[in-house]
Amino acid sequence: MYRYDEYDQAIVDARVDEFRDQVARRLSGQLTEDQFKPLRLMNGLYLQLHAYMLRVAVPYGTLDSRQMRMLGHIARTYDRGYGHFTTRQNIQFNWIKLDDTPDILAELATTQMHAIQTSGNCIRNISSDQYAGAAADEVADPRPWAELIRQWSTFHPEFSYLPRKFKIAVIAADEDRAAMRLHDIGIQLVRQDGVLGARIFVGGGMGRTPMIASLIRDFVTADDLMSYLEAALRVYNRYGRRDNIYKARIKILLHEIGADEYRRQVEEEFSLVKQLGIDPPAAELARITAFFAPPAFDADAPDTVDRSDPDFAVWLDQNVAAHKQPGYAIVNISLKPIGGIPGDASADQIDLMADLAERYGFDELRVTHAQNIVLPHVRKADLHAIWQALSGAGLAEANLDLISDIIACPGLDYCALANARSIPVAQKIQARFADRGRQRELGELKLKISGCINACGHHHAGHIGILGVDRKGTENYQLLLGGSGAEDVSLGKITGPGFDEDGVVDAIERVTDRYLAERVEGERFLDTYRRVGFAPFKEAIYG
Amino acid sequence: MADPDMTSVAAEPQLRFRDDEPHDEPAVTLDAFLAGQSNATAVRLEAGDDARALIDHLDRIALVEVSFPTFRDGRGYSAASILREAGYHGELRAAGDVLVDQLPLMRRCGFDSFVPEAEIDAATLRRSLDRYDLRYQTAADAAVPVWKRRHG
């Protein structure tokens, strides 16, 4: 994985110094809260309902054991002993004191970590495929391109006060494991005549106006990538709406002027920007790519696994994915134990995952947008030992992509923007479907919960989505069906009138019962829904 | 009576990073400039104005003032970048809600004088401008991007 050189380190260290200065000016009253807010936000520091929340960047979701242990240390020392992994592949600490933040950032910097641009109206942390470098279906590892974009976007002088936040994802496989087309810019690496390049999608997003990104450029080579992105961002910075915060994302600009007109403007800008010499040379991408060389796999690693332990076999079938290297596998560690808080991990669990990565996994971990952790490169021969260690720490729930593997935002338990709680609803759904056999019978079913219209819990992209709203002072939950954040991307449709907390759990059960009655062999819930349509489910829910 | 197209006489810039004499001619609006007062040598761009409209006239302009109605409105950063990329060498002034923490970014986009609404603390500004000596990107300033340092 990428390692800082003296330049990267100096920039992150300078940022710590800058933020220490900003916090001191805020504490002394030199800065008003209104002036401090965009400064702290650009460093991932939010003021929530009960305390400050600090969001730490995990660039493209990749980290090593030392960095993971640092997250455990922060959780233990400055928070209440746990952290919350997010849908942007980052981690949030929910109980932070403002005057501790400069020290936290200084500690993070010692392990090449930071909170730069994890919030604010700027280019956010770049997200990517959690199986990068391990999946057989990728045309290349997408992370060198993501790192190139990370560096270009860090403290970009022109794009630090955009109309609204800006999210970029980079993938390199046809299977989309990163919800690429629900980003402001989604990049898919492809090969044309042997040359690696980027397909550029623009204008996706969730929030109150969900949209799927449009294909804007079929192919951009690495030589032109920065110029092209600079042009794409400049058109947005100049013409994105600033009169209404809810219409300020780039998707609204695309919607209003049309994808063709946006493309034309970007091409015109690109032809000018390309003359400026802002693209790094090929040697820079080569330098970065060298950091992502495959680990030293053992060519003789046995390719068979002893499945005689039935509980282990269940976990193996559900949470372990195929690796491109014979004898190796990809382990998904579920952070969704029944009755837990989706995405939360204790400091001890974080340390244990770091230990496992160090001992069995070439020192590498990934955070997924579904709020789980991945060990991308483990020997099949070590799977049983890993499973046993995870079992002892409450981390062996065999529910990847099942109904209990719920994405949920922090909701009204933490978030100042929320209208309704998300976590208790997730827990009630997990309790209702606690029977593991029943979950497996239902198969792949991605359930996603947001506690407000901002859609941090990706409810639009859930096979089943739940949106918490405030209805005359009480929490009310709307149900959506048929969304997907994967390569078969689609937006869910609201079923009708909302429910209270228990009512929405009942409604989900009526939906899953109907699915079991309607499905034909081999169909996932989403396939059945797409085949039979909305009506049978609506009837099942409302009678 | 004041010409309605004329903005108020430009305030003396609080901060100036140029060696030439400050330009004291009042700035005209972009519309006025384009509509025939093109003997004017100073233009004020509102946040929504298209800086590219000036590109054919840059050799006759000595001052462009770019308005920042609120510090959150970042359109002026693009306006400045566009003018510098087009070869404008005259004074480029940021006026309005300009905060000390934004000055390093504005300097990188090519602004070289500032009329902030609220006075900027000199010590904070010095720390702010001296803090970063490494930059990842090429911009309108003279900074050598890190990739060039790495590869010569």
Confidence of residue B14 (pLDDT cuts 50, 70, 90): confident
- Residue A205: beta bridge partners? A211
Contact A281 B151 (CB under 8 A): yes
Q: Which stretch of DSSP H or E encloses residue A474?
A: strand A474-481
Q: For residue range A113-137, list pLDDT tens digits in order.
A: 999 999 999 999 999 999 999 999 9
Q: Is A286 on the interface with B (CB under 8 A)?
A: no
- DSSP per residue over A117-176, as a string? TSSSSSB---EE-TTTTT-TTBSS-SHHHHHHHHHHHTT-SSSSS-SS-B-EEEE-BSS-
Residue B137's pLDDT is: 97
- Is A208 inside any structural domain? yes
- Is A401 inside any structural domain? no
Do A412 and A532 lie in a common domain? Answer: yes
Do A383 and A437 lie in a common domain? Answer: no
Q: Is A30 on the interface with B (CB under 8 A)?
A: yes
Contact (Cβ atoms closer than 8 angstroms) between residue B123 and residue B92: no
- Residue A192: beta bridge partners? A195
Q: Is residue B5 predicted with pLDDT exceeding 60?
A: no
Q: Buried (b) or exposed (e) across A416-444, using 16+ Cβ within 10 A?
A: ebbbbbbbbbbbbbbebbeebeebeebbe
Q: Is A278 on the interface with B (CB under 8 A)?
A: yes
Give the mean model confidence (pLDDT) for residues A42-56: 91
Which CATH number belongs to the domain containing residue A361 in this structure? 3.30.70
Q: How far is CA A35 from CA A31, A114, A219, B99, B102, in A?
A: 6, 22, 41, 8, 11
Q: Which residues of B touch A151 (CB under 8 A)?
A: 136, 146-147
Range of the domain at A441: 407-542
- Is A349 inside any structural domain? yes
Which site among B105, B147, B148 would you substitute to test the A interface, given the most A Cβ atoms closer than 10 Å to its Cβ?
B147
Closest CA in chain A for residue B139: A157
Q: Is residue B10 predicted with pLDDT exceeding 70?
A: no
Contact B151 A161 (CB under 8 A): no
What distance in Å separates residue A96's CA from the closest CA in chain B?
24
Q: Which residues of B touch A17 (CB under 8 A)?
A: 131
Q: Is B18 on the interface with A (CB under 8 A)?
A: no
Give the mean model confidence (pLDDT) for residues B132-136: 95
Place of tokens 């204008």: A203
Give the mean model confidence (pLDDT) for residues A187-193: 97
Where a domain ends, among A93, A109, A125?
A109
Do A98 and A155 lie in a common domain? Answer: no
Q: Of A255, A262, A439, A204, whose CA–CA distance to A338 is shortest?
A: A439
Nearest CB to B124 within list A25, A226, A273: A25
Taking the C-alpha atoms of residue A126 and residue A149, their distance in angstroms, rounded to an integer, is 8
Q: Is residue B2 predicted with pLDDT exceeding 60?
A: no
Distance, CA of A344 to chain centre: 14
Reported pTM: 0.96
- DSSP per residue over A36-102, as a string? HHHHHHTTTEEE-SSSEEEEEP-GGGEEEHHHHHHHHHHHHHHSSSEEEE-TTS-EEEEEE-GGGHH
Q: Which residues of B touch A283 (CB under 8 A)?
A: 150-151
Confidence of residue A543 (pLDDT cuts 50, 70, 90): confident
Please state, rounded to an integer, the average pLDDT across all residues of chain A.
96
Q: For residue range A463-478, list pLDDT tens digits in order.
A: 999 999 999 889 999 9
Do A243 and A315 lie in a common domain? Answer: no
A269's tokens? 């800008």
Phi and psi of B143, rounded to 5°?
Answer: -60, 135
A49's tokens? 């309902």
Q: Of B31, B33, B27, whose CA–CA distance to B10 is shortest?
A: B27
- Is A304 inside any structural domain? no
Q: Are strands A328-333 and A373-379 parallel, antiparallel or unpaired?
A: antiparallel
Residue B38's pLDDT is: 65
Do A269 and A332 lie in a common domain? Answer: no
Nearest CB to A280 within list B71, B75, B147: B147
A240's tokens? 């994105």
Q: Of A237, A238, A184, whose CA–CA distance to A211 is shortest?
A: A184
Contact (Cβ atoms closer than 8 angstroms) between residue B31 and residue B7: no
Q: Which residues of B touch A242 (CB under 8 A)?
A: 47, 72-73, 75
- Residue A467: beta bridge partners? A450, A478
Closest CA in chain B for residue A283: B151
Where a domain ends, among A391, A425, A445?
A391
- Residue A364: beta bridge partners? A64
Give the mean model confidence (pLDDT) for residues A172-176: 97
Using the Cα atoms of residue A206, residue A207, residue A211 and residue A213 in order, give the sign of their dihedral.
negative
A84's tokens? 């919350």
Confidence of residue B22 (pLDDT cuts 50, 70, 90): confident
Q: What percent of chain A has pLDDT over 70?
A: 100
- Is A120 inside any structural domain? no
Phi and psi of A331, rounded to 5°?
Answer: -100, 130
Do A39 and A100 lie in a common domain? Answer: yes
Which CATH number belongs to the domain containing residue A494 in this structure? 3.30.413.10
Taking the C-alpha atoms of residue B93 and residue B91, their distance in angstroms, rounded to an integer, is 6
Residue A180's pLDDT is: 98
Contact A152 B73 (CB under 8 A): no
Q: Is residue A170 predicted with pLDDT exceeding 80?
A: yes
Residue A112's pLDDT is: 98
Contact B77 A161 (CB under 8 A): yes
Do A348 and A423 lie in a common domain? Answer: no
Contact B131 A11 (CB under 8 A): no
Taking the C-alpha atoms of residue A342 and residue A450, their distance in angstroms, rounded to an integer, is 12
Phi and psi of A283, rounded to 5°?
Answer: -60, -30
Contact B78 A158 (CB under 8 A): yes
Do A162 and A284 lie in a common domain? Answer: yes
Give the A:B interface size as CB pairs under 8 Å: 107
Q: For residue range A501-528, list pLDDT tens digits in order.
A: 999 999 999 999 999 999 999 999 999 9
Q: Which residues of A touch B134 (CB under 8 A)?
A: 7, 10-11, 14
Q: Is residue B8 predicted with pLDDT exceeding 70?
A: no
Q: Please give the DSSP secondary-structure letter assigned to residue B40.
A: -
With 0-12 / 13-18 / 19 or more C-beta atoms within 10 angstroms meaning exposed / middle / buried, residue A485 is buried
Contact A7 B134 (CB under 8 A): yes
Give the mean model confidence (pLDDT) for residues A240-248: 96
Q: Is A66 on the interface with B (CB under 8 A)?
A: no
Q: Of A522, A409, A523, A513, whose CA–CA distance to A466 is shortest?
A: A409
Q: Is A11 on the interface with B (CB under 8 A)?
A: yes
- Is A118 inside any structural domain? no
Instruction: Please state, as a whole number, how many other Cβ atoms lie within 10 Å of the Cβ of residue B135.
Output: 22
Taking the C-alpha atoms of residue A427 and residue A336, their distance in angstroms, rounded to an integer, is 10
Q: Which long-range contacts (CB under 8 A, 24 or more apart) does B115-120 make?
A: B115/B10, B115/B11, B115/B12, B115/B13, B115/B14, B115/B65, B116/B14, B116/B15, B119/B14, B120/B14, B120/B15
Q: Is residue B1 predicted with pLDDT exceeding 90?
A: no
Contact B74 A121 (CB under 8 A): yes
- DSSP per residue over A332-372, as a string? EE-S--TTS-TTEEEHHHHHHHHHHHHHHSTTEEEE-TTS-
Confidence of residue A105 (pLDDT cuts 50, 70, 90): very high
| Number of structural domains in chain A | 4
Contact B136 A154 (CB under 8 A): yes
Using the Cα atoms of residue A127, residue A129, residue A132 and residue A137 in order, give the sign of their dihedral.
negative
Q: Is residue B4 predicted with pLDDT exceeding 80?
A: no
Q: Which residues of B touch A25 (CB under 8 A)?
A: 124
Find the helix packing angle between A33-41 and A6-27, rounded to 10°: 160
- Is A195 inside any structural domain? yes
Contact A14 B131 (CB under 8 A): yes
Q: Is B73 on the interface with A (CB under 8 A)?
A: yes
Do A242 and A322 lie in a common domain? Answer: no
Q: For residue range A286-314, list pLDDT tens digits in order.
A: 999 999 999 999 999 999 999 999 999 99
- Residue B91: beta bridge partners? B63
Do A176 and A99 lie in a common domain? Answer: no
Where a domain ends, among A391, A421, A446?
A391
What distance in Å separates residue A126's CA from the closest CA in chain B?
16
3-state secondary structure B87-125: CCCCEEEEEECCCHHHHHHHHHHCCCEEEECCCCCHHHH
Do A101 and A142 lie in a common domain? Answer: no
Contact (Cβ atoms closer than 8 angstroms) between residue A279 and residue B138: no
Q: Buried (b) or exposed (e) across A160-176, using 16+ Cβ within 10 A?
A: bbbbbbbbbbbbbbeeb
What distance in Å separates residue A160's CA from the closest CA in chain B?
7
Residue A414's pLDDT is: 87
Confidence of residue B37 (pLDDT cuts 50, 70, 90): low
Q: Is A297 on the interface with B (CB under 8 A)?
A: no
Do A269 and A330 lie in a common domain? Answer: no
Q: For residue range A408-466, list pLDDT tens digits in order.
A: 999 998 888 999 999 999 999 999 999 999 999 999 999 999 999 999 999 999 999 99
Using the Cα atoms of residue B88, residue B91, residue B95 and residue B101 in order, give the sign of their dihedral.
positive
Q: What percent of chain A has pLDDT over 90?
A: 95
Confidence of residue B11 (pLDDT cuts 50, 70, 90): low
Q: For residue range A351-379, list pLDDT tens digits in order.
A: 999 999 999 999 999 999 999 999 999 99
Q: Is A9 on the interface with B (CB under 8 A)?
A: no
Query: Which three-class secondary structure state does DSSP give residue A444?
Result: coil
Nearest CB to A238 within list B78, B102, B135: B78
Q: For residue range A69-95, list pLDDT tens digits in order.
A: 999 999 999 999 999 999 999 999 999
Closest CA in chain A for residue B137: A152
Q: Is B77 on the interface with A (CB under 8 A)?
A: yes
Q: Which residues of B touch A5 (CB under 8 A)?
A: 150
- Is A523 inside any structural domain? yes
Which site among A34, A161, A229, A275 would you substitute to test the B interface, given the most B Cβ atoms closer than 10 Å to its Cβ?
A161
Question: Going from the N-terminus, what domains does chain B have, and what CATH number goes with each?
Answer: 15-151 (3.40.50)
Q: Is B117 on the interface with A (CB under 8 A)?
A: no
Taking the C-alpha atoms of residue A19 and residue A40, their distance in angstroms, rounded to an integer, is 8
